[in-house]
Amino acid sequence: MKTTPEITAELIHAIPKSDLHCHLDGSLRLSTLLDLARRDGIDLGAADEASLKALLRAGEPCDDLVHYLKAFDVTCRVLQTEAALDRAAFELAEDAAAENVRYLEVRYSPILHTREGLRLDQVVNAVLDGLKRAERLYDVRTGVIICGIRNIGPETSLRLAELAVAFKNRGVVGFDLAGAEENYPAKDHSEAFRLILNNNINCTIHAGEAYGPESIAQAIHYCGAHRIGHGTRLKENGDLLNYVNDHRIPLEVCVSSNVQTRSAESFERHPFKFYLDLGLRVTLNTDNRLITDTTVSKEYHLAATRYRLSVEELRWVVVNGFKSAFLPFRDKKLLLRRVNEDFDAALEGERQRQADSRRGAARAPARAPSPASPKSAVPADPLDPTPAA
């Protein structure tokens, strides 16, 4: 009888994963942000990675969602050219592929990248070019979600919905509503979502992150959302929670981000495991790799360790991510078959690795530890796709 391996960082890295909720402008590399600023003569107020990370408060607790969103004022300053957008998109997909993310949906609002004169279609094409270039080099599939912004206004959302329609079947797989949630109800943007639904386009909406379950109800019943971004406060309305569960509406959960924005009081108080135990279709995602200082592997490892996931629960969350992808049914079916096969292979590889490690430890004679230099004593972090120095 085969033993069930322990869920380790190595196993998390090896399994196939998805990221359905990832913002382009919140997921740049620090080095790229600095390089783009230097090239375009932009003073970010920070001259090196350490000071820039501090300026962005990357991974640090924020007062609330509005405070968290201020970091995007910095990142968007360097994303105003086609070359910068192409590079950011390529590197995001490259970083995702390095940690075995097989499917990545990248979301952003093109209107935020037109300050220096780019047309909306130029913005979209630049991002698509970067993603497609990464697809040709790496084992990752990508799609774009165009975002309306709650606090910019319904007229702009409608314009961006028209853009999503124009790029349907050309790389854009969905439409979203992002931005400050409180005082900016989703129902005000219902005309944009009516256009999206009339054109048979997938849609997801940020809801239940900085406002209560009423926001989630609006997203579903006024705007026809097929998925919910975050959904942290869904637990406050049991009837709505059951509706979401019964209708298999996926939740794009971003645990670290939710704690950072105080949408959840702490990791312990986050409802992820509660939702999982009830059978909701929960998925794990990064939200913003840079601003939250995370990766997909880190989010999975955090969930596995803090919420004591079993291997089968881990598989359930992985499969949920691919089931919830904005992909055609036949493509999704083929992808899911491969994902399950590769999950089994990763599991067997980790089982063998742990067995070999135990045998080696049993055979090894006891000996005094030898001193090691600080650099050689630090192993490469399997949760960080960045190559070790």
Using CA atoms of 274, 24, 182, 192 in order, give the dihedral in degrees to the nearest 10: -110
Which residue from 203, 270, 287 is spatially nearest to 234, judged by alpha carbons? Answer: 270
Residue 74 pairs in a beta bridge with none
Active-site residues: which are they?
209
The crossing angle, in degrees rounded to 10, of helices 311-323 and 329-363 is 150
Q: How far is CA 224 from CA 11, 219, 280, 310, 344, in A?
A: 37, 6, 18, 34, 36
Do residues 71 and 80 touch, judged by C-beta distance below 8 A? no
Q: How far apart are CA 287 and CA 93, in angstroms?
A: 14
DSSP class of residue 23? E
Q: Are 91 and 55 in contact (CB under 8 A)?
A: no
3-state helix, strand, coil in the chain (%, to 5): 55, 15, 35
Q: Rg for the chain (alpha carbons), in Å?
A: 21
Give the Cα separation of 231 and 215 in Å (integer): 9
Calpha distance 212→261 (Å, rounded): 14
